[in-house]
Chains A and B, each alone.
Chain A
Amino acid sequence: MEKNTYKQIVKKYTPKENRLFNGFVAFVSGGLMGVIGQALVTFYERMLDVPNKEALSYMMITLIFIGCLLTCLGFFDKWVHFCKAGLFVPITGFAHAMQSAALDYKKEGLVTGIGANMFKLTGSVIIFGVVSAYVFGLLRFILFGGNV
């Protein structure tokens, strides 16, 4: 078969993704995550009477816990498949990637499975974050003297 005809056939049968719909779903689900985060912060500030910074930390931990638990229970994969960027850009996506890597490699044992592969998907986020933060931090330290 000619290469071009093959490509045309592939193109014909690849399911078309509705980009407008995807964007809308990502916007709404991502926005709802932000609202949930803000609601948790307000809740912790009122109920535990802690300052804003601590409430933000508690909110992060809560969202990470929810993301990990829902991944274990099997709901989160379907939701991520539907919402895409709306769920993996917030911190829940970080938790989800970590938890699914840990679960996938569980059968290979504690050290060589979970221990070695837990950061398989999230390692890139931490590495690029640290390298860029160091370079940009150095830049700002030289330019403005590091006053935050």
Chain B
Amino acid sequence: MIYLNSFLFCGIVCLIGEIILDNTKLTAGHVTSIFVVVGAFLDIFGIYDKFILWAGAGACVPITSFGHSLIHGALAKASNEGLIGLMLGMFDLTATGITAAIVISFILAMIFNPKD
């Protein structure tokens, strides 16, 4: 059942992205930036947590979960350390993703050469 929910949620998010891309003049960079902001916005009232409970990894794969993880880490630290925690904990949960992306793409860029 969780597989079906993952398929539906991730598919619908991508479908919304495709509709925005096809019907406006926005580029792929605009769409991903909008989605990150939307993901962070949905976390003000804790809506995105319910999506993750419902769709599991399907809600963590789209880029919206990046915004969600940023605000989630910041708030978790802020509840312990006060207002400065918003800055201290900003990258707590996304650090694995960003570090992995930087390290992997640097090493692979050393090994491979661009095609054509």
Q: Which A residues are within 8 Å of any B CB, using their own CB?
A: 17, 19, 22-23, 25-35, 37-41, 56-57, 59-61, 63-65, 68-69, 72-74, 84-86, 88-91, 93-95, 97-99, 102-104, 106, 114, 118, 121-122, 124-126, 128-130, 132-134, 136-141, 143, 145-148
Shortest beta-carbon distance from B73 to chain A in Å = 9
- Inter-chain contact B33/A26, CB cutoff 8 Å: no
Count the B residues whose beta carbon is within 8 Å of the partner chain — how many? Answer: 71
Task: Assess A86 versus B18: contact at CB under 8 Å? Given A98-B101, A133-B71.
Answer: yes
Chain B interface secondary structure, helix, strand, loop or mixed? helix
- Inter-chain contact A140/B3, CB cutoff 8 Å: no
Which single member of B9, B37, B114 contacts A104 (CB below 8 Å)? B114
The CA of A63 and the CA of B96, in the complex, are separated in Å by 12
- Inter-chain contact B18/A84, CB cutoff 8 Å: yes
Chain A interface secondary structure, helix, strand, loop or mixed? helix
- Inter-chain contact A130/B102, CB cutoff 8 Å: no
Shortest beta-carbon distance from B2 to chain A in Å = 6
- Inter-chain contact A106/B70, CB cutoff 8 Å: no
Residues of chain B within 8 A (CB-CB) of A124 are: 29, 32-33
